Structure formats: C-alpha cells, structure tokens
Structure 1
C-alpha cells in the first residue's frame, strides 16, 4: 500500500501547526526538511529528539530526511560537505528513517550563468556521489536523488547516467514530474520509463505551461496517468506532497495551510477516483 507524506514546512515553520494540518488531511508521514525555519541538518541532537517525540505523539512518522545534500557547487569543499552528509546520516538514524533526499551538485562556481558544460564535471559528480553512496551503504540508509533544476542530474539523460554509473541499491531515484517539466523534459512517459528501474520515491507537485505551480492534476504533469502507471507497476512506496504553491526557493518551498490543504485534497481525490488505497 502506498503511503502519503509531505514536506510539512510548506504548511508552517511551526511543528505543532504542521502536525495539526497533517492530521486534518489524514497524512501520517513527513519528509523532514525544516522546523522553526531551521534546516533539518542544523537542528541540535536535542531538537531532533524533541521533534521525533512530538511527531510520534501526533501519530506522524518520518518518511525521509529532506536534506540539502548535493545542493552546492561541485568545486566547493567536498570534505566540508561530507561532514554535513555524515550529519544527515546521523539525523536519519535518530528519526528512524532509511531515506535521505539528496541532489547531484551545481555547476562550478567559476562558470558563468548559462555557460555550464555538465560533461566537464560529470566524473567529479559521480565520484562524490559514489563516496556518499559508500557511506550510506555502510550506515544502512538509502539515498534518493531528486531531479532538481540546475543540478547535474536535472535532465532525463543525465539522471539515468548517474543511476547507471553508480548502480547501487543505496542510490535510487525520486520521480518529480514538475521538476522535469521545468527542465523542458517530458515526465510521462519519457522520464518515468527511463528511470523506472531505479524508482524509489515520488514527489507530488504540478506546473502549468506558463511556469506557475498548480495542484496535482491542474498542470502539465499528467498525474492521472502517472498514478495509474505507478499502480499498474506495483509501486508501494511513499508519495510525498511538495506543492510550492505560494513560493519556491532554492532550499524550500512554501504553500501555507490553506493552499497545502488544496494540494492534499487534489492528490487524494485523484487516488480515490482510481480506487487506490493509501495510508
């Protein structure tokens, strides 16, 4: 059975408000990205424990750590970033989740805007991701790579290149159709078919042809067809809401309680129409 989750910092910076809205929407999991406007990796050990206890008391489990790992230029200090990555592993362990959302690095700082040649830094990206995958394997966690705009793996071809090159059960793929649309890629069937062998996680947002964000089913992602195909192929993982309806920033988006509820209800309506049970 699929399980619904959410980037609940899209609701509010306040944890209690996040939980209240999730409960009202019958969503039992969270992709923990930030609380109190503090990134999940910058929370103290005590804060992480307090958050875990509060979530558990509210009937909310942690589906994934929504980390910013890999959202740095490829030529920034990898040693420093590995320290941050190790923190992500420790946080995942403390929150009892096996998943850490990551990215595949921006172009080098020296590149001028629009002039980047991804092939020039491909090998370094793969080397960095291989080291992180090795550490994830040793720790017993799984990295899930999001196809975010402007990182190395933002297109279908480069995402598949990463997945094939790393070829490890601890480095898997997030399907984010709206992100593909923002990179002029076709999310379904093209991206779905190409990345299906590594599919581990699904992010739900939608985008209209004019670039504005929309609830699932009102944009160009073809969510009805994607959900039908996921069900046909036996997908039984997490489907996480990340609607970005009010704002979309480099490190997080925001919707607010009312727009988040609209996004939640749109997704759940699609699932009910196809009689796909979820938890």
Structure 2
C-alpha cells in the first residue's frame, strides 16, 4: 500500500503540499484544487506549473479528485449541497463536457483515475432512483471504457451512494471495468454504516482506491471528523484486511480535520502520523 494526500488538505500551494507529503513518505498526489481553483477550472498555465512542481518533487498523480456528477439528478430539484471544493456549479447535462476536460487533464497528469459521485442525495435511494443514476451515467461510463479511463465512484454521504453496500450494489449492477470504487470508510460512517467489517465486506471486490478519514459520533447525533486512528472507524482492522486481500493501491488522506484553532496542514500531519502508526503495527 502506498501513501497519498489530497493536496489541498494541506495547502492550496502545491509545492508546499508536496514537500510536506514527502516528509511522510508519500509517493503519489491526489489533485482536487490548486491555488484556489478546482481541477475542473484549472488553466493550462496552472497545469504547467503543477507539472513542474510534481516533477521537482518526483511524485506521481494517483487520481484526479474531480466533482464529476456532484450535481442534481432531477433538474427541477434543489436544496442544500455538500462541499464542492471550489468547483463551479454544473448541471447533469454538463457532466459529459466536464468528463472530456478531465480526460485531457488526466492525460496531462499521467493518470487514468478520475473520481466521480452519484448526484446529490434528495431522499431515499429507491430502485427507480438507482435506475435513473445508471441511465444518467451511462454515456460517461461508455466514454471511460472507450478511452481507457477509470472512473472511481466515491461513496459520499451527501450523494445517493453513501455506503459501501449501496456503492457495491450499484457497481455490481453496472459491471463495467471502467467503473470501480474509491472507498471512503469515513464517509460510510457518516452515512450510518459500520465501515469495517460491514462496509468493506460489501465493497471489497470493487476497491481501486482508498480515502482515509476518521470520524466520531457526537451526543447530538451528528458526527465530526478527527485524527486518523482516534475515531470510531476501525482502521487497524480495516488496513489489516486490505493488506491480507493484497491491496497495493493508494491510501489517500482526506482528513477534513482541523485541530481547534489550528490549520488543515496541522490536521493532515496528525492524520498522516496516525495512519503511519497503524501501518507500522500491522
């Protein structure tokens, strides 16, 4: 297993983020936003600057953490939305144009992995909704198949596929080599699932990429993200299972945690330390 970080969880300054990551032995970078700009809006000049930073650091890009299909399934629907990480709002009709741009960016960054979601959640995931998601994403999946891309479906509690079980059922239904899982145990926890062993048990055969964040449930019934290894996700058991299953991909830290009065960089450093401690004990 290799280590990565979604770089803006440290800093919008890519060069600084990469230097911090190297301190912890990271070999890959996951790109979401750079210099205050989302991957879907980066200019060619910013791409060139990013490639220069990556070359200087000797680090590869393991995934584009894009906002693909973080949009409304029903164009007449509306409501609160989750974090879009500097991404501009796009309709469902605009997602194919975004994917084609991301294809160009993936080629520039030397990766085939593009993170996707399954629309903002507006109510229960019914069979009809699941069918509508499959229909809505069909062209994107076909495009990925035809162009050698790997779409990585992230389970996201603000979207229709929030748990490992929901995501696994959908991936099994689609059954495409171009659609695999970006498994996020912390998001599964936030969606009400026990990430390990239940969530991972459901999704283990689809895991291509792993996001690492930990969380705890508060007395209010809400959750908060916390340092990896200090929350309620059984990362020791989970990482041992990944190792036993022969997982050789990336563990990409996306902590969403800031210590009280502190910074995102401090939170990510603490989570990298926590993750490395667990890995050292396996």
Structures share a fold, TM > 0.5? yes
CA distance in 2, matches of 1:194, 1:3: 23
Partner in structure 1 of residue 59 of structure 2:
60
**Shift in Å at residue 117 of structure 1?**
5.6
CA distance in 2, matches of 1:225, 1:155: 18
Question: Residues 168-187 of structure 1 correspond to what in structure 2 (within 5 A)?
Answer: 168-187=176-195
Partner in structure 1 of residue 104 of structure 2:
90
Partner in structure 2 of residue 250 of structure 1:
none
Describe the superposition over 1:175-205 as per-residue Cα deviations: whole angstroms up to 9, x where unpaired.
2111111111111111111111111111101
CA distance in 1, matches of 2:19, 2:140: 35
Partner in structure 2 of residue 277 of structure 1:
none
Is residue 188–residue 226 contact of structure 1 (8 Å, CA) maintained in 2? yes
Other structure's SS at 2:17 match: helix
Aligned with residue 141 of structure 1, among 149, 152, 158:
149
Cα 1:117–1:153 shift into 2, 3 Å: closer
Cα 1:117–1:63 shift into 2, 3 Å: closer
Whether 1:218 and 2:226 are equivalent positions in the alignment is no
What runs of 5+ residues in structure 2 fail to find an aligned partner? 76-90
**Shift in Å at residue 148 of structure 1?**
0.4
CA distance in 1, matches of 2:48, 2:141: 26
CA distance in 2, matches of 1:226, 1:158: 19
Greater relative CO (CA pairs within 8 A, separation 6+): 1
**Shift in Å at residue 10 of structure 1?**
0.8
Aligned with residue 233 of structure 1, among 210, 235, 245:
245
Is residue 68–residue 99 contact of structure 2 (8 Å, CA) maintained in 1? yes
Q: Which segments of structure 1 move beyond 3 Å, counting only runs of 4 or more?
A: 115-120
Whether 1:100 and 2:114 are equivalent positions in the alignment is yes
CA distance in 1, matches of 2:9, 2:37: 13
What runs of 5+ residues in structure 1 fail to find an aligned partner? 248-253, 275-279
Give the aligned CA root-mean-square deviation in angstroms: 1.7
Partner in structure 2 of residue 3 of structure 1:
2
Question: Residues 162-201 of structure 1 correspond to what in structure 2 (within 5 A)?
Answer: 162-201=170-209
Question: Residues 17-36 of structure 1 correspond to what in structure 2 (within 5 A)?
Answer: 17-36=16-35
Question: Residues 39-50 of structure 1 correspond to what in structure 2 (within 5 A)?
Answer: 39-50=38-49
Is residue 103–residue 147 contact of structure 1 (8 Å, CA) maintained in 2? yes
Is residue 18–residue 29 contact of structure 2 (8 Å, CA) maintained in 1? no
CA distance in 2, matches of 1:117, 1:154: 10
Aligned residues: 261
Cα 1:26–1:225 shift into 2, 3 Å: same
Greater shift in the superposed pair: 157-166 or 193-202: 157-166
Q: TM-score, normalised by structure 2?
A: 0.88
Is residue 72–residue 92 contact of structure 2 (8 Å, CA) maintained in 1? no
Partner in structure 2 of residue 251 of structure 1:
none
Question: Residues 107-146 of structure 1 correspond to what in structure 2 (within 5 A)?
Answer: 107=121, 115-116=123-124, 118-146=126-154
Is residue 243–residue 255 contact of structure 1 (8 Å, CA) maintained in 2? no
CA distance in 1, matches of 2:275, 2:38: 26
CA distance in 2, matches of 1:131, 1:191: 28
